[in-house]
Amino acid sequence: MTKSAYVALVTCFNEDETINFEATRAQVRRQVAAGNNILCAGTNGDFSALTFEEKVKLTEAVVDEVSGKAKVIVNAGMPATFETVKLAREIDRVGVDGIAVITPFFIACTQDGLERHFTTVADAVKTPIYLYDIPARTQNHIEPETARRLADHGNIAGIKDSGGKQDTLEAYMAIGREVEGFDVYSGPDHLVHWALQNGAAGPISGLGNVMPEVLARIVSCFNAGDEAGAAAAQEAYTALRVDLYALGFPPAMVKRALWVMDNSVGASRQPALLPNPEQDAQIRAILVKHGLLGA
């Protein structure tokens, strides 16, 4: 099976915090040129700060810009099953390759509740559904046993694991080996190569916004049987991760690093990161160190 990389694309904003569609399209072109596919409206895309209508328009713009040159998955997950189904149906109408559904957030869910939630969404659309597990952000975790039951649903095509725990990722990949057509995508940036070696379909990475070519190289080297090349690219990728994420909340650091590289992407709508000249200088120094900016 040929592996493929996805980037959890940032959403670009104007100074008044409206979506900058042209800048977002430019980021889409940059990722496609590097050889990466797109996850739209995910954690790195400020999905929790976007309105329903904005998510639909953003999806339409990304699909239009990709123009069949890469695959597009869009996150439709919301706390309520009703709203998730409503948004998933709109995305289904636009036409994408997959719909990711993040676990409900704010509300504590039982495993039975999660199973019902994902099943209801998968029943409502034709586009394949991908479960999206990121318990540190949603406080709800898809247990492997629950994922195994959901894997038997004809319209649930896989899972994105952003939990960061290797044993959980291993358990999900065991499901993928057992159930044909259930693909596992790894979220942790430091586990891209390891996950590929152990059966993942590929990464869905936020750090790829900053280092798209290196992410693509890990996967392309692996596909070519060049384990040394994949390992070297992973080492460079992990080194940037260690330096950048030491400064704060990873999605906020990714967006700010990209802003330092190209301020047309705008700031984040989230209150997690306020402009800080001292921190911007630290980010710039990290980008210079890793060859992403000139000295």
Rounded distance, CA 289 to CA 283, Å? 10
3-state secondary structure the chain: CCCCCEEECCCCECCCCCECHHHHHHHHHHHHHHCCEEEECCHHHCHHHCCHHHHHHHHHHHHHHHCCCCCEEEECCCCCHHHHHHHHHHHHHHCCCEEEEECCCCCCCCHHHHHHHHHHHHHHCCCCEEEEECHHHHCCCCCHHHHHHHCCCCCEEEEEECCCCHHHHHHHHHHHHHCCCCEEEECCHHHHHHHHHCCCCEEEECHHHCCHHHHHHHHHHHHCCCHHHHHHHHHHHHHHHHHHHCCCCHHHHHHHHHHHHCHHHCCCCCCCCCCCHHHHHHHHHHHHHCCCCCC
For 162, residues 6+ apart whose C-beta sits below 8 A from its C-beta are 43, 132, 133, 134, 137, 187, 188, 204
Known catalytic residues are 132, 160
Closest by alpha carbon to 41, among 165, 206, 156? 206
Q: How far is CA 102 from CA 59, 130, 156, 255, in A?
A: 16, 9, 13, 20
